[in-house]
Chains A and B, each alone.
Chain A
């Protein structure tokens, strides 16, 4: 494997650089903090002629997604990025993109949702999009943002998948961090990511209809086809990740583990907090607490089987949620994980810490505290960590 130069760059800019290497035909991006640097830098790359992309300066996120769907339907490779209120405004269109099997790629700079207004970081924006039929992948650091972005179109456009992909990049904590990263050569990416070959395109010479009306004799089959496509996408996603590992040496799995061997208690995280949690696990292990870490990389389709294997010997799972699922008695990751174990004969005690809301820093010390508490758990718990009273 070629030794590559590592360069220091803000992660949002690196995301845009990676998009710029993907031979994207149409980008329609409306700026919103903390995604703005992606929108700005991509427009710089287009203006400087570094990527041959039509950059549509839309007036809202509803339009950016509409442009992407329309472009994708004509056979163009389409890209957008957003977060928070922008993603909420797009919400209406997300299930349309997946039902029409438009392989759009979107970066989401995860940020809270109003009210109160907060521009920092958590997962409240992505969670309402859970059921929109998109593949959702979370990144932990800048290098992962680059790699996962470069792999996203290969996954989205695979003929066995044909679904849009979201790459979650925690706002500020990741987007605004300057990190060392390495990029493959353009030639290598051109080989890894061949031009998009759509299965059908809107063209006046060969008229057809996409996303048409369906009556009850047809609609449920349509929903099942979309669900099966998403469920089945996992094996192809892993195949693409395997190829990446062979070519570029970095390995990605739907569920990743850190020091889980023999761990009685396993912390479960998603997104940028995972690296901090690793340090927490190291500290706990040094103190003799039997703790490991499981990181959810692939949020949709949910990696149930991989999760079961990863935590099979644990007595306690401590799920760290960076969002609330109001009225369900737990965070969204927690409720999903509980569902995974419902059918199992023996299941761990699952506790839930909702934390890091609205950009609250979650430190190594916090993970140590949560790990120590979870290690003593006797029954299911649901707690807003760090919230008084």
Chain B
């Protein structure tokens, strides 16, 4: 509904399409990007649990990665990782 006039807005700002936030890419907010060093990873899944965007997923080998379309670079995963396997790197 971006660009809609006030008359076109559905009363109460009701969003009729479920899951429409998927279309909003919070990755655009990011200035630091998490980079995983799998050699230090113990596969505990804490980064997966703590990511506020829910954008961390596990690959077939059990290691973790972020979907950069949605990773906003908050650094919580890096902060919470026990082993220091995640480093926040400046976006170039």
Residue numbers of A with Cβ under 8 A of B are 99-102, 162, 199-200, 207-215, 217-218, 221-222, 224-225, 228-229
In the complex the two chains form, is B9's CB within 8 Å of A210's CB? no
Contact of B15 among A99, A212, A221 (CB under 8 A): A212
- Contact of B18 with A by CB under 8 A: yes
Question: Closest chain A residue to B15 by CB distance?
Answer: A209
- Distance of A215 Cα from B21 Cα, bound (Å): 12
Q: How many A-B residue pairs have CB under 8 A?
A: 58
Q: Which residues of B in the span 12-46 have a Cβ within 8 Å of any Cβ on A?
A: 12-18, 20-21
In the complex the two chains form, is B18's CB within 8 Å of A214's CB? no
Contacts A214-B13, A221-B5 given; 7 further ones with Cβ under 8 A? Answer: A162-B11, A200-B12, A208-B15, A208-B17, A210-B13, A210-B15, A218-B9
Q: For A215, what are the chain B residues with a Cβ–Cβ distance below 8 Å?
A: 2
- Distance of A218 Cα from B5 Cα, bound (Å): 9
In the complex the two chains form, is A208's CB within 8 Å of B11's CB? no
- Distance of A212 Cα from B24 Cα, bound (Å): 13
Give the secondary structure class of B's interface.
Answer: loop
Q: For B2, what are the chain A residues with a Cβ–Cβ distance below 8 Å?
A: 215, 217-218
7 contacts between A and B (CB under 8 A): A100-B13, A101-B12, A199-B11, A200-B10, A207-B18, A218-B2, A225-B6
- Distance of A211 Cα from B15 Cα, bound (Å): 8
- Contact of B3 with A by CB under 8 A: yes
Question: Closest chain A residue to B13 by CB distance?
Answer: A222
**Top 9 nearest A-B pairs by Cβ distance?**
A101-B12, A207-B18, A209-B15, A224-B6, A221-B6, A225-B6, A217-B2, A100-B12, A200-B14
- Distance of A199 Cα from B14 Cα, bound (Å): 10
Q: For A221, what are the chain B residues with a Cβ–Cβ distance below 8 Å?
A: 4-6, 9
In the complex the two chains form, is A208's CB within 8 Å of B13's CB? no
In the complex the two chains form, is A208's CB within 8 Å of B9's CB? no
In the complex the two chains form, is A225's CB within 8 Å of B11's CB? yes
With contact pairs A217-B3, A222-B6 given, residues A209 and B20 touching in the complex (Cβ less than 8 Å): yes
